[in-house]
């Protein structure tokens, strides 16, 4: 933000490219109008506003290494996101941020990483995944697990296919319900965790997906003896204003938009109703 007095005021960004990912999700690249760079950390989010309609919190999906533009994946599910979907390249949009705390990168350097993404949860994890792939020597073993309800809901499949070709990471994708085009794994994402041979004390698990997924993924990670403070989850779905003023995301005195949206399971287990 420009200064503390303008936390409510968006800055202007231009939509420089738009890519259709699925029937419901688009990927937009944005360039700030009055900044040459947009600096952020993987796991942070922005408040995007369409003038005359409103604003919504959206996770940043691109790597922070390429900060002349930044990318967001937007699912059409309300007035604001529907308005964002109607934007064209060259349009302008309001941006507040970056906001919130991202993934604890420094703590994770030199460790194994296990990414567990469900559905749209791949969008915020993609920022961290791309950073890790660019800084591959900073991290040890990297495993990416991704699940969706059906093949038509899988995001960034062109990149995932490229990730699968790499010899320095492991990538597995599953869907709950297959169709005639699908020849990969079938079933819920927890089925991909069971066969993994992990080094628990050296592994960080980064988990983002629908709330219903967390309960069962946490059970599997506990079976694998991953330390609770090395399991990182996101509560971003609770956020609204992005600056702790509306109280919409407050959970027993903790503001998700200010203190998160990324939290360790060790923190969340002591917050009733957080999960």
How does residue 114 score in pLDDT terms, banded at 50, 70 and 90?
A: very high
**Mean pLDDT within 24-37:** 96
* pLDDT tens track for 115-139: 999 999 999 999 999 999 999 999 9
- Give the pLDDT of residue 1: 47
- Give the pLDDT of residue 139: 98
Q: Which residue has the higher pLDDT, 23 or 273?
A: 23
pTM: 0.93
Q: Which is nearest to 130 in space by CA: 210, 249, 43?
A: 43
The per-residue pLDDT of the chain, averaged, comes to 92
Residue 260 has pLDDT above 80, yes or no: no
Distances (CA, A) of 105 to 30, 55, 56, 244: 24, 29, 26, 24
Whether 16 contacts 69, CB under 8 Å? yes
In whole angstroms, give the CA distance from residue 157 to residue 143. 16
Going by the DSSP 8-state scheme, the letter that residue 39 receives in this structure is -
* pLDDT tens track for 150-205: 999 999 999 999 999 999 999 999 999 998 889 999 999 999 999 999 999 999 99
């Amino acid at each position: 933000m420009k200064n503390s007095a303008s936390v409510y005021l968006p800055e202007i960004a231009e939509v420089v490219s738009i890519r259709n990912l699925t029937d419901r999700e688009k990927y937009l690249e944005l360039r700030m109008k009055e900044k040459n760079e947009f600096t952020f950390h993987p796991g942070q989010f922005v408040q995007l506003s369409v003038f005359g309609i409103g604003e919504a919190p959206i996770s940043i999906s691109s790597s922070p290494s390429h900060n002349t533009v930044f990318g967001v994946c937007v699912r059409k599910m309300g007035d604001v996101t529907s308005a964002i979907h109607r934007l064209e390249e060259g349009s302008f949009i309001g941006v507040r941020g970056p906001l919130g705390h991202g993934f604890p990168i420094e703590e994770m350097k030199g460790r194994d990483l296990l990414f567990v993404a469900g559905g749209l949860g791949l969008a915020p994890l993609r920022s961290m995944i791309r950073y890790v792939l660019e800084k591959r020597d900073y991290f040890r073993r990297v495993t990416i697990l991704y699940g969706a309800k059906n093949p038509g809901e899988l995001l960034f499949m062109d990149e995932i296919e490229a990730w699968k070709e790499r010899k320095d990471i492991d990538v597995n994708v599953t869907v709950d319900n297959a169709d005639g085009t699908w020849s990969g794994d079938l079933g819920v994402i927890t089925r991909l965790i069971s066969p993994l041979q992990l080094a628990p004390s050296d592994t960080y698990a980064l988990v983002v997906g629908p709330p219903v997924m967390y309960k069962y993924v946490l059970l599997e990670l506990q079976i694998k003896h991953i330390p609770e403070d090395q399991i990182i989850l996101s509560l971003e779905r609770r956020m609204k204003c992005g600056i702790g003023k509306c109280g919409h995301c407050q959970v027993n005195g903790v503001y998700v938009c200010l203190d998160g949206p990324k939290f360790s399971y060790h923190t969340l287990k002591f917050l009733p109703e957080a999960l």
